[in-house]
Every structure is written in C-alpha cells, then in structure tokens.
Amino acid sequence: MEIKTREKEDIVIFDVSGEIKRSDVIDITLHQQVKDFLDSGKRNILFNFNNVDFIDSFGVGEILASYISTHNLGGKLKIAKISKKLYLVFQVTMLTNVLEIFDDEDVALGSFTKE
C-alpha cells in the first residue's frame, strides 16, 4: 500500500494505491496517518481509492477506525472512486451504511461544503 496526501481547502485527500492489508512491513498505518492529521486540527478526510486493488479485514478495520476517530472529533470521512469489487466488500461488511461513498472525487469534495 502506498499513500500520498494532498489538501484542497480544508480537506485532506488520501490517494491510496495497492492493497490495504496487514503486512509485516507497515511503518505507519492508514489510521495512524489519519490520526496525525486530526491531531493537527484537520477534520475533513477523503480517501481516494481509485488505485486500490484489494482490501482484507485489517484494511476494513483501518477504514472503520479512521471513520470513528474522525467522527468522534466532529469531522467527516468520505470515500471516492472505489472499484465494484471493493464496493462489494463494503456492502458485506456494512460499511456502505456508515460511510458516504462517491464515484467522483469532485462531487465528494463538494459534499463537504453542503453540510
């Protein structure tokens, strides 16, 4: 898994690529990176999963933990551009009932200002 971050206005975008899974060589987890931005005062998080091919139960846990941490601080975490395969995983794990998922990044970004 590779994670690059960028910011648009007050939204931190995590461009994630590869596989979100447990690995022996994890320097810093997705959730820890989210917590670092939350600690710096950022409250709007968008995961761009356009280049994610696979997610396991560890990855699902990372996303849920990131959502809970963000939500507990009054922030919003949303997801953009997931594959049909990942969407099925999200449906089975009921994450589709918790997270806002968008096909388009610009629409997802715009949704932060509509609230």
Strand partners, 52: 18
Q: Once rounded to an integer, what is the mean pLDDT over residues 64-90?
A: 96
The CA distance from 76 to 47, in Å, is 11
**Per-residue confidence (pLDDT) for residue 28, from 0 to 100:** 81
pLDDT class of 23 with cuts at 50, 70, 90: confident
Confidence check: pLDDT of 1 > 90: no
The dihedral over CA atoms of 70, 50, 56, 93, expressed in degrees to the nearest 10, equals 60
pTM (2 decimals)?
0.93
What percent of the chain lies above the pLDDT cut of 70? 97
Tell me the average pLDDT across 65-82: 97
Contact 96, 87 (CB under 8 A): yes
Domains and CATH numbers, the chain: 2-113 (3.30.750.24)
Task: Measure the CA angle with vertex 16, ends 107 and 18; round to 5°.
Answer: 130
The confidence score (pLDDT) of residue 25 equals: 62
Per DSSP, the residues of 59-95 read HHHHHHHHHHHHHHTT-EEEEE---HHHHHHHHHTTG
d(CA 76, CA 68): 10
